[in-house]
Amino acid sequence: MLIKKVLLYFVFTIIIINCSFAFQSIPKLSENAQISLITGAPGDQIYAIFGHSAIRIYDPVAKIDWVYNYGTFDFNAPGFYTNFLKGKLNYFLSVYDFNHMINNYSYNNQSLYEQVLNLNHEEKIQIFHFLINNSLPENRYYLYDFFFDNCSSRIRDVFEKILKDKLVFTDQHIPDHKTFRQLLDEFLYPSPWGDFGMDLALGMPADATATSSEYMYLPFKLFDAFEYAIIRDNDTNTPFVKSTKTIVQFISTGKKEPFQITPKILFWSLAIIIITFSIFYTKKIRIWNLIDTTLFSIVGLMSIFLLFLWFGTDHIATKENYNLLWVSPFYIMIPFLIFQKNSPRWSANFFLFWSIFLLLVLTAWNYLPQNLNPGFIPIIIILSTRSFFRYKKSIKNHVERKE
């Protein structure tokens, strides 16, 4: 998969270089030119699961059929993963032949849609020149933000900058305003593990209600917004979209989706097993020491990652994360308490407090301003259960030492 991505980026780079030579003399758009919003169906990779948006400039007279793609990034750029985690990853506007996009979506069996826009000739020229200028090496890069500045929202901004008050987005396609997280969930249902991971990393900002404009950070919400938008010229209202058509149609293979172990299935199964064995096999001390050390260490390390996403990055959506109420850095010290021959007296009180606290977090979650993924519930129960049994073990050890 990585080789495929590198090859795709190599192709993009070559096309961009070729287009840069073409821009030395800007083609003149004819009256037959069309500008379209292109929307790609979601892919299998997590970065493509929400779909994709691009702008197509098509002019058969000038022999132009270019795609302007604000969603390009370089896997091989120095510090790619570090910059991504820190929220300092630069995306850029790439330009390539539309046939390349068609071939790519056909190869991956993903639908591709086109909305031809209702623009006059002067508006088409302005948008074309804006995109040409924006694709220059000194202008093409921008700091990516998942909710507020991405391949989809940038396209919205292009048309708003050129058309200004003439372009009016209506709310006809939004019967009930949702939060950013709820909008993500509409696309994450085929990927329960992706949903689990994103709900873990995203903090309270993801539970803010998105405005009509903010809806358009998702490609298919941008598609809907364009479909219902109007061009207001004096007293005349004209649909923004002249026509909509399918360029590539997904072909069903007839295969059923394979059974997958979801977070709920996995963690509820573990919860039942651990609670059962905790009750009936309390004397297996070495095994429980190993299990508890592994369990609390993993969650403790996870808390460090969530703290980094909150305080060590520029990502807005990962700040103020209430998951840190149960994914706590306190877990890091628990392995040291487990293997101490003479654990301090307060350790028993700590385990009892933490067991009760986790259950309180679980029962009070609906009153917190952040949504709880159902897959977290059995994990919290497991942590509470093992904390309680560590409390009982600590009390027993203290009694035995006194005797």
Model confidence pLDDT, tens digit, residues 290-317: 999 999 999 999 999 999 999 998 889 9
145-172 average pLDDT score: 94
Please say whether the beta carbons of 222 and 216 come within 8 A.
yes
Confidence of residue 6 (pLDDT cuts 50, 70, 90): very low
Q: What is the pLDDT of residue 401?
A: 59
Model pLDDT, residue 224: 96
Any residues with CB less than 8 A from the CB of 284 and at least 6 apart, and which?
Answer: 277
- Torsion from C-alpha of 96, 150, 262, 328, nearest 10 degrees: 140
Q: Kindly report which listed range (255-264, 272-281, 312-321) carries the lowest average pLDDT score.
A: 255-264
Long-range pairs for 361-370 at CB < 8 Å and ≥24 separation?
361/325, 361/326, 362/326, 368/322, 369/204, 369/207, 369/322, 370/203, 370/204, 370/206, 370/207, 370/320, 370/321, 370/322, 370/323
**Token pair of 34 as six digits:** 């069309």
d(CA 229, CA 173): 10
Report d(CA 355, CA 373) in Å as an integer: 20
For residue 46, what pLDDT is reported?
A: 67
For 57-89, the pLDDT digits (tens) are: 999 999 999 999 999 887 777 776 677 777 778
Q: What is the pLDDT of residue 258?
A: 75
Confidence of residue 369 (pLDDT cuts 50, 70, 90): very high
CA dist., res. 218 & res. 183, Å (int): 8
DSSP label of 222? H
Contacts of 368 (CB under 8 A, 6+ apart): 322
pTM: 0.85
Look at residue 13 and tell me whether its pLDDT is greater than 50: no
pLDDT tens figures, 104-148: 999 999 999 999 999 999 999 999 999 999 999 999 999 988 899
* pLDDT (0 to 100) of residue 22: 42
